[in-house]
Structure 1
Amino acid sequence: MMSNENKWASVTEELEQKDIMRANKLIQMLEAEGAVNNIPKIEKEFDKIQQEWKHRIITSEFVTKLYRSLEALKFAKAHNDGIKTSRGELFQELIDKKGWEPVQAIWSKMEELEEKYKGKIPETEIKKLEKEYKKSMEYIMTEIGVGYQSVIEREFEKRIRIYQKRLERSVKFDFSTWLHSARKQKGYTLKDLADKAGISVSYIHRFEKNQRRAPSVPIVVKLATALDYDPTMVLNMIGQGADSLGLPSKSDPVELLDLLNVSSLKVGGKTIGTVEKNLLVSIVEQVVQEEWEDEDVWTEGKDLFVKIVKLQKKLNSKKK
């Protein structure tokens, strides 16, 4: 186990000894046995330090580290109590408890927009959110302080990044609507199309539900051909153009998820089935798409670990 001295060294090396001494009580509370059952007292002590240091830039990273350790305890407590929580929910709880009205207003607006646009918030609305967030920075810096400032920045900026990524994944032409409509017109089931295109059922289903990013050229060609459409026409509709039909050179990188989905896979010399392949794709998707921080790994990574164990068992059963 890492010693307290080593664990906190990266954020204390620039501080004066008196600052470190001031925080030692809280550090000891955070590291104590049974700290998970002492969260209210730890929060109270944290608030004292945050209030004392809220305008001191030099202590901001230190206070942020203290808060994240407190946050990790809250995750552990929820886990012990059999409650599934998220960083976003803990953040909502924090801003409600503190009564930070400007922060609450923007966060509520984000929730409203997510509900209104079903998660696909348009660029104009994203820009408005960014503008409102920047306007609130004066309040955050003067009234809330540097310790909580980084926590607020992390949550807001993470959400904005998610919205922007969703926007980037969208295409000029609604590929998901076209795919679903074209499949129905042909009278194909998902499995029929999967067999014809050589792509997994789950992968096609995620495209139809608009849960996947804009499709790559090889995927479009396979699906369009299977549905008796001209691939060039479909590529033009989604903004990729006819030039995209050129085969990639050996030096061109290949999208990993596309490669997994359009290829037959072997493990230990044996071809793996659809169930195992879908599990593998799901694991890789979770690894590359989730934005975790160190404190999240042991809680939010639980679902990933369950999938890995399940895949391992299925692969081992094929060896027998």
Structure 2
Amino acid sequence: MKELTLNKQEFDQRMSKFENQSPSKVNINKLDEFDNAVKNVEFSEPSLQFYYRKKISKVRLNALKAQGKNCTKWDMFYNDVMSDENPKAEPLKKILNVLNDENIPVEKLENVISTAEKELKSEEVLTYINSLQVFDKDRLNTELSKKLKHLRTKLNRNIPNDFGVWIDQLRKSRGLSFRALQEKSGVSASYIHRIISGERQRPTIPVIEQLAEALGVDKAEFFTKLNMKPTESEKEQTISQLLSLNDYTINGVSVTRKQKTAILELLTGIINAKWSTETQFDESIQIMKSIGTLKKALVEDEE
């Protein structure tokens, strides 16, 4: 790749013709050409590529929506992967094709989700993911996490018919009123009543744990009754989400978006480094550049 030195001002000048246009008039083909150019450049500051491509992606999504494409972030991500001619993308394409089906029968969702989660950890899929640039990897992790969470939520909407009856039998056998169970579990009486009456979707894992303890039942029984797996994967975040989407401070000062991007770039470079005899020198140089980018971002915001 050709090395190109760009600063934010120069990038903004290149982007201005797209950003200053009404989204309905943006030439998406030309915007995609610009994105491809950015993808194929080795920037002197690696975090710039992530920042630039994220900005291009935002303009592109707004343009697609304004031009009647009815496009979501998932749609754009899905279409981009499907158009990737890299043969190594094929295993991921198969997974996305399954997940993209909005008509998956509820009774098959659990198997679809667990199969996808397993296949996403396969060596062939991880090989492709690890070959991606930081922006593409971040988008992939974000969109897949959201899609799997959406499917899991869809699966969890319906409570098995006998679950409410079972909970009510447990409550009565313990001699507990709704109010007493509320006080013992910390779960509101109205919430418990809606679970029993079938008006509430499946309870969350924390609620299951609270009710199980209050009723003296192993929480594994709850999972069995609800056809759930005892996992808290929905609470988990990818490292990119953790660093990009949450607020935190450095030395008591709130971290800016630019600083978050630099932190993510540095950490990604360290994690992805092979650190072999052949690559260690070049990788250390790249990591040092990322450190420089982060330090510069920190200093700029102090001034």
Higher RCO (C-alpha 8 Å, min separation 6): 2
The TM tier, using the shorter chain, reads: 0.3 to 0.5
Normalised TM-score (structure 1): 0.44
Normalised TM-score (structure 2): 0.46
